Amino acid sequence: MQTTGDQFLVKKINKAIVLDAIVRHCPLSRAQLSDMCGLNKGTVSTLVGELIEEKLVYEIGFGRSSGGRKPVMLMFNKSAGYAIGIDLEVRHMLAVMTDLDGRVIAERQVELERHDPASVLELLTGAARSLIGEAPPSAYGVIGAGVGVAGIVDDKGTVLFAPNLEWEQVELERLLRESLAVPVTIDNEANAGALGELQYGAGKEASGIVYLSVGAGIGAGIVTGGSLMKGAGGFSGELGHTTIETNGKRCRCGNKGCWEQYASESAALELARPLGVARFGELIELAKQDAPEAIRLFHEVGESLGIGIANVINAFNPELVLIGNRMVLAEPWIRTAIERTVSARALPFHRRQAQIRFASLGERSAVMGAAFSAVTAFLSKDRVTW
């Protein structure tokens, strides 16, 4: 029998559905898959056979029987390949290698002294290559790299504008793909963080999240109905550049009084200058030692964060606001100021519904989201976008 185009398409869609169910719910038997996916047993068996041949699925012992023969259970082969995730921040980058289920196998942290694209690309490539060199033997090897960048990224993986890195028009996807020779996905770092928390962290149970990446600047990944809200050009979430002071401090974006000038890691470091502190880690250490100047400073930053979070809550009515990136380290000293400010400023109906929490993956939200994007791109190869 000749296979028509339509049949081929239907088969691809069905295979994608079966693989997705195994990834999410394994261990599963073929009968359970058939019920879950609404496909007949013969179709499920054929598709599972192909996935086993492709080493994406394997069989384990017998599951519980509901009478009759005990069924063979199917597992997703999370060691079929490995993904690289990179979080490119302003002062440092974090790189991890994970299996296909987000388990971290190896990690690198690199300080960034210079920001010109060539120097950063060299460090990025170096970190990724050294991780790739550590990949255990597997069916597919390293299946791709995902990068989260603190900047505005288009759908071709070009960084259009990253004010804190001072980058414009850097074709990061192309450059990295050419030097690493693996598929590369590039996303805004806050979107990557939101994905990381949604998949592996504090956002697992929620469907309406605003993830705030509070690092050198402030970016937001906005999740509604379980997926990222990207906006017309994919550029949504630049909440750090919303104005909270009419004639406030100048920002690198060209505006005055941007939220991130008052509530980011950079804002905290600026306030810390009279204390002779140049690194965020030192400031955290001072607060841990109960130094009153450091505690007061974090209180001020917490208030400024609270002002913007009240705006976020009024605008998006989220069930969960997650504070992520480096500012998670300051949780003990900013939490009360944030909560007090939000209670005083947000609309009461909105405030009652919104939980404010700190990212459970800590500094790893974005790097895990970036690795997850690489895994999704790999597993989607057999899928159809519709």
Give Cα 142 distance to the centre of its chain.
19
Which of 162, 165, 239, 251 forms a contact with Zn ion (CB under 5 A)? 251
Q: Which is nearer to Zn ion, 136 or 231 (CB)?
A: 231
CA distance 71 to 183: 37
Least distance in angstroms from the C-beta of 251 to Zn ion: 3
Least distance in angstroms from the C-beta of 220 to Zn ion: 14
Strand intervals (E) in 252-381: 320-324, 355-358
**Number of alpha carbons in the 13 Å side-chain half-sphere of residue 118:** 0
CA distance 22 to 270: 50
- Amino acid present at 150: A
Residue with token string 């440092």: 92
Least distance in angstroms from the C-beta of 258 to Zn ion: 3
Residue 179 DSSP label: H
Q: Which is nearer to Zn ion, 127 or 251 (CB)?
A: 251
Q: Which is nearer to Zn ion, 17 or 253 (CB)?
A: 253
In the chain, what are the helix, strand and coil shares in percent, each to the nearest 5?
45, 25, 30
Which of 253, 291, 295, 377 forms a contact with Zn ion (CB under 5 A)? 253
Query: Binding of Zn ion at residue 78 (CB under 5 A)?
Result: no
CA distance 264 to 90: 12
Run of H or E including 5: helix 5-25
Query: Binding of Zn ion at residue 317 (CB under 5 A)?
Result: no
What length does the chain have? 386
What tokens were used for 45? 């068996």
Least distance in angstroms from the C-beta of 323 to Zn ion: 19
Q: How far is CA 301 from CA 58, 263, 304, in A?
A: 51, 5, 5
Q: Which stretch binds Zn ion (CB under 5 A): 45-53, 83-91, 248-256, 321-329?
A: 248-256
Find residue 115's DSSP bridge partners: none
What tokens were used for 314? 């009024």
Q: Which is nearer to Zn ion, 115 or 299 (CB)?
A: 115
Least distance in angstroms from the C-beta of 81 to Zn ion: 40
Total site size for Zn ion, rule CB under 5 A? 5
Least distance in angstroms from the C-beta of 255 to Zn ion: 5
Q: Which stretch binds Zn ion (CB under 5 A): 28-36, 95-103, 168-176, 249-257?
A: 249-257
Q: Which is nearer to Zn ion, 78 or 241 (CB)?
A: 241
Query: Binding of Zn ion at residue 255 (CB under 5 A)?
Result: yes
Query: Binding of Zn ion at residue 242 (CB under 5 A)?
Result: no
What tokens were used for 155? 């759908």
CA distance 107 to 109: 7
Q: What is the DSSP string of 136-174?
A: PP-SS-EEEEEEEESSEE-TTS-EEEETTTTEEEE-HHH
Give Cα 184 distance to the centre of its chain.
15
Give me the 202-221 binding string for Zn ion, x by CB under 5 A, dash otherwise: --------------------
Which of 15, 30, 177, 241 forms a contact with Zn ion (CB under 5 A)? 241
Query: Binding of Zn ion at residue 258 (CB under 5 A)?
Result: yes
Least distance in angstroms from the C-beta of 253 to Zn ion: 3
Query: Binding of Zn ion at residue 244 (CB under 5 A)?
Result: no
Query: Binding of Zn ion at residue 15 (CB under 5 A)?
Result: no
Query: Binding of Zn ion at residue 23 (CB under 5 A)?
Result: no
Q: Specify the long-range contacts of residues 30-38, CB closer than 8 Å, at least 24 apart.
A: 30/71, 30/72, 30/74, 31/71, 32/71, 33/74
Q: Which stretch binds Zn ion (CB under 5 A): 81-89, 122-130, 179-187, 236-244?
A: 236-244
Q: Which is nearer to Zn ion, 183 or 248 (CB)?
A: 248
Q: Which is nearer to Zn ion, 142 or 258 (CB)?
A: 258
Q: Which stretch binds Zn ion (CB under 5 A): 19-27, 250-258, 293-301, 322-330?
A: 250-258
Binding site for Zn ion (CB under 5 A): 241, 251, 253, 255, 258
